[in-house]
A and B are shown apart, each in its own frame.
Chain A
């Protein structure tokens, strides 16, 4: 079985992509855990899949159609009720542009 150890730099890169701030001890633990899982996953390379199409969909093929109509009434207040921060009918966020 090949060794699919990933580097600390890769862990940090993926964390940036995933929008996750990691503590230094989390980075080390994830490096070990992901390396172990990816080494296990390497067993897939024992199989020749060059002529095998990937599964794109399970269940029934085809997409059911319906009329393009609004089904849900506007409900700003219930949707804003869970907002961590709001102002009037808006979600409040940190300033994005100067």
Chain B
């Protein structure tokens, strides 16, 4: 009975759990066994929580037996190790938080508990969510389930790999410049970054506060809609969180996209893009047309300035957010005779190279004499990037682009050159700067069998249209769902 239960989607598992055909404990054990079998190859988790997960599953079974089954009752999830989880180690993949046990739950974690979810473990990531490959983890890189010699993407690479390899039914990630969408693309799963302010960030370790957003990784678009409904909504603990009512996103999945206008920005089909990626995305666009959508050519003229803007804004905010790691109240401490030396040494030992690089860049951009030239300038260009999207959405309902210019690259391929790594986020970063929702959806495979992702960008709070279009495409059968081989390519 418990054979291959890990293959279920949330929607499928929900139906079978409610009908009592399977138990939450069987489903959780199937995922935990799968983790035990695969982790040595994948390293998708920093911490696995079998005891806590089985307790949550037993509680879920008791609720199911009473007929009191909330939306995610008994559903095993992986949680990116950036979310505070009460009583469970929370590291942010950093040595500076290596022994930190969260004293309280993030708001979304508390909501998922109320919804009956089961947490199988804390997923691997780039340290403090800074990276595009999950190679910047103090706990070693995550490997791509489609080819173990390649990266899973980042920063939420562990979450993406865990869902792709079916170590859980879905996962939580965070997205500051593409950290949900790029790994979803590299691992062939659905990744959703909601509108800025749609989901509470209380208890989510901060990287860049004007860009960070919470979102799910799932096997299907329907599952993403189910997850978003549980995650979204106002929070008195997060003043940046929107009070708008939360729609039933699953009901938006009508399959009808007749007359939908999909904008195709000419700046996103540039030389240097992998031709297989371009071909696959163009084929997906034709499929949308055949489903009744209309393609509209649009222009986002400031696209080429997005990465430069992002690396000033994000690092400036990060340098302020990471000032709290000083070795006094929690985390690593390296002793010294005085406090200043204690801070200096603790931070030197506790942070990895990429985190130090970004703290240095952000501190420089905010420092006396350079603020106007860098930070102010970047925030002005950010206004131009936002206006590009406002103008575009006057002519279309959604925008479709590639997620990344390539498929998953090799481990170590870009670690020596920070600029090359930053350029992998060229198609996702503008969406964060403008605060828009974006979704990554599998749309094909390259010649080596590596997944390719299509990005669908919505207007602010346009998640329903975005999910409806993605669901219609997924159900059209244009892209087969494959099972990753979980080995190294020859």
Contact = CB atoms under 8 A, between A and B. Distances in A.
Contact of A33 (B329, B357, B378, B434): B357
B243 A64 contact: yes
B478 to A, nearest CB: 33
A8 interface: no
Interface stretch (B2-10, B168-176, B184-192, B234-242): B234-242
Interface in A17-37: 17-23, 26, 30, 33-34, 36-37
Contact of A45 (B242, B331, B377): B377
A57 B351 CA distance: 29
Given A41-B308, A52-B384, A60-B242, A18 B330 contact: no
Contacts of B65: none
A82 B171 CA distance: 27
A84 B356 contact: no
A17 B367 contact: yes
A54 B360 contact: no
Interface stretch (B110-118, B128-136, B290-298, B339-347): B339-347
B409 interface: no
Nearest to B338: A94
B303 to A, nearest CB: 12
Nearest to B343: A19
A14 B363 contact: yes
A72 B217 CA distance: 31
Nearest to A80: B329
Interface string A54-98: 111111100110100001100100110111110000010111100
| Range, interface on chain A | 35 or more
B380 A58 contact: no
Contacts of A82: 99-101, 103, 329-331
A18 B239 contact: no
Contacts of B234: 64
Contacts of B47: none
B71 interface: no
B197 A34 contact: no
Contacts of B359: 18, 20
Given A66-B236, A75-B103, A94-B342, A49 B384 contact: yes
A36 B419 contact: yes
B459 to A, nearest CB: 13
A11 B361 CA distance: 10
Nearest to B196: A59
Contact of B360 (A15, A21, A52, A60): A15
B311 A19 contact: no
Interface residues of B, number: 77
B377 A44 contact: yes
B195 interface: yes
B309 interface: yes
B210 interface: yes
Contact of A79 (B103, B341, B348, B434): B103
B364 A54 contact: no
A18 B319 contact: yes
Interface string B194-224: 0111000000000000100000000000000
Contact of A59 (B104, B195, B311, B422): B195
Nearest to A16: B344
Interface string B303-329: 011011101100000010001001111
Contact of B331 (A10, A14, A84): A84
A59 B307 CA distance: 20
B101 A20 contact: no
Contacts of B485: none
Contacts of B435: 58-59
Contacts of A53: 380, 383
B319 A44 contact: no
Contacts of B382: 54-55
B148 interface: no
A40 B195 CA distance: 29
Interface string B431-454: 001110000000000000000000
B345 A96 contact: no
B363 A30 contact: no
Contact of B379 (A20, A43, A55): A55
B383 A20 contact: no
Contacts of B146: none
Contact of A20 (B308, B312, B360): B360
B363 A54 contact: no
Interface string B78-106: 00000000000000000000011101100
B348 A21 contact: yes
A30 B367 contact: no
Given A43-B305, A44-B305, A34 B327 contact: no
A53 B374 CA distance: 14
29 contacts: A11-B360, A15-B360, A18-B319, A20-B360, A21-B344, A33-B418, A36-B418, A37-B361, A38-B364, A40-B307, A42-B308, A43-B304, A49-B377, A49-B381, A52-B381, A54-B380, A54-B383, A55-B379, A55-B382, A55-B386, A55-B433, A60-B242, A63-B239, A64-B243, A75-B103, A82-B101, A94-B337, A94-B339, A95-B338
Given A37-B419, A54-B379, A64-B243, 5 more contacts: A20-B344, A21-B348, A38-B361, A53-B383, A60-B244
